[in-house]
Structure 1
């Protein structure tokens, strides 16, 4: 297990641990090292610079590059990596710079066991031969020539050094760096060097820049999983949070601005803290960064500087110089030089707004969040809490949809209890399956006890009868009684040499393990499986091998359920190794299931690349089989592979796999394969919607409905109903084919009636068929008050009664969009779209602001304002709010009026 990653001091970890914890910016590292490798001994230097705000990983990248140079034989043969302290405040002259290089070279020599060279450099660096700019440069060059290598100067805060040097010194330094065989400079700065854009400056277009942008959500998740997997047992908590509560990480990622340093702090929090909400996580994070951010702000000592920082941070949204002058009372002529200083320091940045003038905002977004929560008024702090709550429910809604999509795609839905299915569907019945595919989970139906039917000797028949009784008692949920019967079979017949009796004993042991699992004793369950495996693991008899294989599979699944994925995967591997070469179909089926579940577990623990490899191995091994059980596992592997490809940002590859699955098994009459084909078609349609191809999305839903619409099989009816609802939602939101949409919703199965009537209401309201809309309301009696209030508001909008509409809307919003297990975000979006179409958009924008609901529902208000005034207005909103508003905006843009169909 690697130690915790460091936040500020890079020297705490040794090289091995540092490399193991370096999980972000790997692509940038590879590019920089590849560029360095291309430099020959006498070539001109190819100098590089990292540009990024504080915490973006510049210092880590410099150290990681130094380690790579030391460890790569090609690089270490030609280059010497020289590291420096982060801020070289002592550099005022070139001789200071070259002396620092000499001292760094001495440190490198000591690390390489070259004590003689280190001592030599200690003696000469401050001698008279280094006591001039030219002399120091010549002496350092001579030392490098003696080594026969080129120096790679890895310099943090390079801008501090260049700003401290005189103009002629910068030109002299450039000449030294351009000399054949001279040093190669790899620097870092918080912003682009002003000299690189000045044609008359020494370092105009001198460096190859690498801009370190905030991490995307997918990068953040990958890094978090990589850290967790290397932290052993303590990392499992983080993996569990990421698997079961992905919305929580999405909220934290959005609020922390994708900053790698805060990512490391977030990881520590999730690993050690027992909080269960994004707001609790945020408050703990803010407490952790207080000393660091407090020191950052207190670097500015004048009242004028602090007043400007305070106003920009508390305004939160980008603020123009003119508005800032109004807030602070400071003339713009006084503000301008101060703003320039703050930009130069990397504290604030200038960004484009919707107007003619640029705005200013704090660069490091989490610093702004910290300032708001520490120095803001009660109302400002409440705005932040409201935003966290909104984002949590907004992202969580998508996660609910992902859970449902995944459960159906992988078969887990079939294992849910009736009560859980009802609760889940109630939680999501008004939320159409929208835009995202979900995480995968898979577990065997290992809670069904094994019923055997072998030709048996009298003794075996008696053992079988006892086992059958145990199964019957167990099915009646009499677990304790069933266990006694299974134990009696095992105790009474264990010593029998009769092969048929052994089969019954193995069956009883397997059923005992399953029953122990059902009664909540996983440790005893695993112990029973181990006993079965130990007793019959070496048998050549196929029926006994089947029981051993099933025991190994069940053991692995149970290990996963109790939170030991490493042991789970190890057990899958043992099963695959033991029976992977068997030609017996029952054993091949167990091996195929083990491969499938292993892949899923790998994906859950953050290794999608290996997950995909295992799916491919399963498909290659059994893809040509004509046996239905194996074909079903291959189809499941293809479906999961496609989902994983979509999650890892390759929707085109995902669509290819969906198409391959449909082509391979699309003509099958076997229900298990038809289910997988139907799920692939539905997922393909959703993916096409994600990629912005609504015509192909609609075509795919149509094809699914045409293929399986008349099939009476319940699983296929479920997929057809989902396709009809998804297609209807797409048609409603695009405002076309109203008559067809109505027919689709009226034809869905009984289990989707509540969802269908809810959508029918919005269809009828949009097409101004208000009497029909009211006729749907009796079918929605179980809907909470908030949802019904939104519907009443929609009726009022179409009746032209703005007062009644806002009264109902206020009632809904005061109650909240997520009462109990419901989520009414979609209905609110439809209401706002309807209002904009009715010409009420401007009045609604003002109403949100007058009622202060604009603060409580900031992303909704920002999206509404952008829908009315133009997308450019999103530039006037803080980044934390802007992301969610940008996702909402397309759903508020009015579509053409629905056409009534025949």
Structure 2
């Protein structure tokens, strides 16, 4: 096993080059793009300089070091460029004399880094002998000329450098690119007017690269890559990523996709994988305190006052509101807001109701830290409620994730496989992240692995190290060996090597390619590598349904939705009754906002799923009833569930609620007390509210609202999301959304279920209302809004089709 990589949060320069490169898992695409740009410079092209823009913690310093190592490791670049790294903040630069002296120091550091210590000492002596520091540039040019290479200046916080040189005559002239002069890659947390302003003196001399926040998918992929590189220490983090992705996604919303926070997140996950999401957040806040406390203390007194008002507001706030809160005049507040914005601490954002610009803290985790360390008790409680809500929403609420759990628990797919070896069953079971199906497949594979263990004179429990297993002699044994490494010893990298060895012996061994693909997909977060392997496997067994299905999953994880859809459709051509492919197609359609196609796929699932597959029918019933609002069709699906299991009280509840909403009987529908008792207090109140609305009794419905959201159990939306969506839609359509929002605010539900209520508010009064909400809440509120709008979107699609 390779040595595990080291990690650092604030100072990447403290890591060895090897550890740094192994831990550099984010921004790989941008690093390649910037390296290609440097290759053009190395070829003699007159290229522009580069400016890397990004908020604090977005990886600017790491990117500069990555480029320095790229030059060091590439023969062409290292023959033409000298990478010079500087300290992160060159506070001492107030003249070109100091700047060129710093360049000489950086050149000396470079000599030391490549083992040219004699040159470094000679250079130091010549620097000390300079009588006039104005000769520093000439000395630098002389040494650079002696190397016959162009200097690559990697300047972090280039905005501070420009500010220090501003008093110099024509201070920007040295930074204009020439065909044989220095190449500059700068980093800055704030826009640099001379570069970013279209009319700036250097606007055509620099190309700007923006480092945006990592997406949730990038965050998870990066955590997985770090865990694999960490070796044994990372195994428990891999387990968390496989079983508790909702926990990670919640932390992404609260911390933003900040690579620096990514490292802190990884370190606390490795330290304690049992903590809940709020404990995770507390640990992150503690680790960030040193950095953020210093950032606040560095501000002038009025700047701290203004920042305090903006951070505690959390939502975007206008200058006038800040002035009212701080008792400062608007002019002073505006000046401080502009200053904080230029320093990258605040950012300007639009809001509804006014054309004026609002402000919010740009680094969202900084805002969370400020709230938790300086906010009132009630404000901290609001954040706790938000955390609970977000975790429940991401773990169960999304239709895509919900459908993914609908796997045939009785092993229908395994029956259709026609395979004879345990390694294939184990590989498929491990790749599909469902414990029930995995258990079924593993039980069928157990005999195969037991025979393998007994051939070694061991039991399965005795196999604790690959060294106890003789070196496999053929491809089949390498495959069995690989699956033991992967499944029982949790060493997927070694398993990948075993499957590769099998392929080297038998290049057309379908099982080796299939296992290689599923290992890369399920264990190594290498979706593109999985696609490559599974394509080969499919070419060797073109009609093998599981290979086609796993290829679809790999393509989906690689972000190639169109190819993934084609793969899933190919599954249905191989077996028109293979409803798992229809579920996947429905997932993608839902994610893309294609409600019409999603409805088609879920309808197919409801027809194809075996009668015993109640989960698939429940998913279809939920989608048809509460996303599409096709109640009569949904009632038939739930009735089918009752035919399968007359004791299914969830299906019975849905039927009764649908009947109450349709109210087609001569007498109003009254839901039986015995059925109501099966539900938690909040759910019971919600059902009674919908029953009252079916009878046009709005007053009785509203009387239940406080009970719905006042219950101690905070999972009412998670367990009754369909009913909540109906309640909100009825309120808007019947013209009492404002009244419902007022009641929710009075009962405290507006704070306790903030994203849910924000989504409802946007549904009732326009999506632009989401601009008034902070980004942490807005992300989930937008998804709530999409769910609320789904029936109209579905209806519009049908209308366009009919037209």
TM-score range, shorter chain: 0.7 to 0.9
1:865 paired to 2:761: yes
Q: Report the secondary structure of 1:716's partner residue.
A: coil
Alignment of 1:545-624 (within 5 A): 553=480, 556=483, 560-561=487-488, 563-566=490-493, 591=511, 595-596=514-515, 599-600=518-519, 602-623=521-542
TM-score, normalization: structure 1? Answer: 0.77
CA deviations on 1:757-786 (whole Å, 9 max, x unpaired) are: 344345444434476754588666533332
Match of 1:24 in 2: 26
Could you tell me whether the CA contact under 8 Å between 1:239 and 1:605 is conserved in 2? no
Where structure 1 has 5 or more consecutive residues not aligned to the other structure, the ranges are 416-436, 452-505, 540-544, 583-587, 624-630, 667-673, 709-714
Match of 2:181 in 1: 182
CA deviations on 1:324-351 (whole Å, 9 max, x unpaired) are: 1111111111211111221222211121
Match of 1:319 in 2: 317
Q: Report the secondary structure of 2:56's partner residue.
A: coil
Q: Distance in 1 between matches of 2:365 and 2:252?
A: 10
Q: Distance in 2 between matches of 1:275 and 1:553?
A: 33
1:94 paired to 2:96: yes
Could you tell me whether the CA contact under 8 Å between 1:177 and 1:183 is conserved in 2? no
Q: Report the secondary structure of 2:441's partner residue.
A: coil
Match of 1:750 in 2: 644
Once the 2 structures are TM-superposed, how far is the Cα of residue 597 of structure 1 from its aligned partner?
8.3
CA deviations on 1:470-499 (whole Å, 9 max, x unpaired) are: xxxxxxxxxxxxxxxxxxxxxxxxxxxxxx
Match of 1:226 in 2: 225
Residues 322 and 557 of structure 1: CA distance in aligned 2, closer, same or farther (over 3 Å): same
Alignment match of 1:72 (pick from 71, 74, 85): 74
Match of 1:428 in 2: none
Match of 1:113 in 2: 115
Once the 2 structures are TM-superposed, how far is the Cα of residue 648 of structure 1 from its aligned partner?
3.6
Match of 1:805 in 2: 701
Q: State the Cα RMSD in Å.
A: 3.8
Once the 2 structures are TM-superposed, how far is the Cα of residue 174 of structure 1 from its aligned partner?
2.6
Q: Report the secondary structure of 1:214's partner residue.
A: coil
Q: Report the secondary structure of 2:443's partner residue.
A: coil
Residues 838 and 513 of structure 1: CA distance in aligned 2, closer, same or farther (over 3 Å): farther
Match of 1:445 in 2: 441
Q: Distance in 2 between matches of 1:718 and 1:162?
A: 70
CA deviations on 1:10-37 (whole Å, 9 max, x unpaired) are: 2211111111110111111111111121
Could you tell me whether the CA contact under 8 Å between 2:372 and 2:380 is conserved in 1? yes
Q: Distance in 2 between matches of 1:331 and 1:820?
A: 45
CA deviations on 1:698-733 (whole Å, 9 max, x unpaired) are: 334455566x4xxxxxx6335698368526623653
Residues 146 and 762 of structure 1: CA distance in aligned 2, closer, same or farther (over 3 Å): farther
Alignment of 1:194-213 (within 5 A): 194-198=193-197, 201-213=200-212
Could you tell me whether the CA contact under 8 Å between 2:624 and 2:633 is conserved in 1? no
Match of 1:494 in 2: none
Match of 2:800 in 1: none
Once the 2 structures are TM-superposed, how far is the Cα of residue 439 of structure 1 from its aligned partner?
7.4
Q: Distance in 1 between matches of 2:294 and 2:622?
A: 56
1:716 paired to 2:714: no
Alignment match of 2:595 (pick from 694, 709, 727): 694
- Which stretch has the larger CA shift, 145-154 or 380-389? 145-154
Could you tell me whether the CA contact under 8 Å between 2:671 and 2:691 is conserved in 1? no
Could you tell me whether the CA contact under 8 Å between 2:660 and 2:669 is conserved in 1? yes
Match of 1:479 in 2: none
Match of 2:5 in 1: 3
Q: Distance in 1 between matches of 2:483 and 2:350?
A: 55
Could you tell me whether the CA contact under 8 Å between 1:529 and 1:555 is conserved in 2? no
Q: Distance in 2 between matches of 1:894 and 1:205?
A: 46
Match of 1:333 in 2: 331
1:682 paired to 2:583: yes
Q: Distance in 2 between matches of 1:27 and 1:897?
A: 36
Could you tell me whether the CA contact under 8 Å between 1:177 and 1:185 is conserved in 2? no
Alignment of 1:38-57 (within 5 A): 38-39=40-41, 43-57=45-59
Q: Distance in 2 between matches of 1:315 and 1:761?
A: 44
Q: Distance in 2 between matches of 1:258 and 1:790?
A: 36
CA deviations on 1:189-239 (whole Å, 9 max, x unpaired) are: 002112235466432343111111111001101110110000000000110
Alignment match of 1:661 (pick from 549, 571, 576): 571
Q: Distance in 2 between matches of 1:370 and 1:691?
A: 34
Could you tell me whether the CA contact under 8 Å between 2:481 and 2:498 is conserved in 1? no
Could you tell me whether the CA contact under 8 Å between 2:251 and 2:281 is conserved in 1? yes
1:131 paired to 2:133: yes
CA deviations on 1:675-709 (whole Å, 9 max, x unpaired) are: xx222123223322322223333334455566x4x
Residues 725 and 365 of structure 1: CA distance in aligned 2, closer, same or farther (over 3 Å): closer
Larger Rg: 1
Once the 2 structures are TM-superposed, how far is the Cα of residue 564 of structure 1 from its aligned partner?
4.5
Once the 2 structures are TM-superposed, how far is the Cα of residue 870 of structure 1 from its aligned partner?
1.0
Residues 598 and 36 of structure 1: CA distance in aligned 2, closer, same or farther (over 3 Å): closer
Residues 682 and 727 of structure 1: CA distance in aligned 2, closer, same or farther (over 3 Å): farther
Alignment of 1:468-479 (within 5 A): none
Could you tell me whether the CA contact under 8 Å between 1:69 and 1:79 is conserved in 2? yes
Could you tell me whether the CA contact under 8 Å between 2:521 and 2:530 is conserved in 1? yes
CA deviations on 1:535-577 (whole Å, 9 max, x unpaired) are: 9x989xxxxx9xx97x985993696256444566567677778
Match of 2:562 in 1: 652
Q: Report the secondary structure of 2:761's partner residue.
A: helix
Could you tell me whether the CA contact under 8 Å between 1:91 and 1:164 is conserved in 2? yes
Q: Report the secondary structure of 1:39's partner residue.
A: helix
Q: Distance in 2 between matches of 1:769 and 1:123?
A: 96
- Which stretch has the larger CA shift, 72-81 or 39-48? 39-48
1:263 paired to 2:262: yes
Could you tell me whether the CA contact under 8 Å between 1:728 and 1:745 is conserved in 2? no
TM-score, normalization: structure 2? Answer: 0.86
Residues 253 and 413 of structure 1: CA distance in aligned 2, closer, same or farther (over 3 Å): farther
Q: Distance in 2 between matches of 1:554 and 1:116?
A: 53
Q: Distance in 2 between matches of 1:112 and 1:781?
A: 76
Match of 2:772 in 1: 876
Where structure 2 has 5 or more consecutive residues not aligned to the other structure, the ranges are 415-431, 796-803
Residues 265 and 413 of structure 1: CA distance in aligned 2, closer, same or farther (over 3 Å): farther
Q: Distance in 2 between matches of 1:724 and 1:324?
A: 50
Match of 2:364 in 1: 365
CA deviations on 1:646-701 (whole Å, 9 max, x unpaired) are: 234322121110111222343xxxxxxx4xx2221232233223222233333344
Q: Distance in 2 between matches of 1:277 and 1:8?
A: 25
CA deviations on 1:848-897 (whole Å, 9 max, x unpaired) are: 22222211111011111111221111111111111111110122238469
Aligned residues: 770
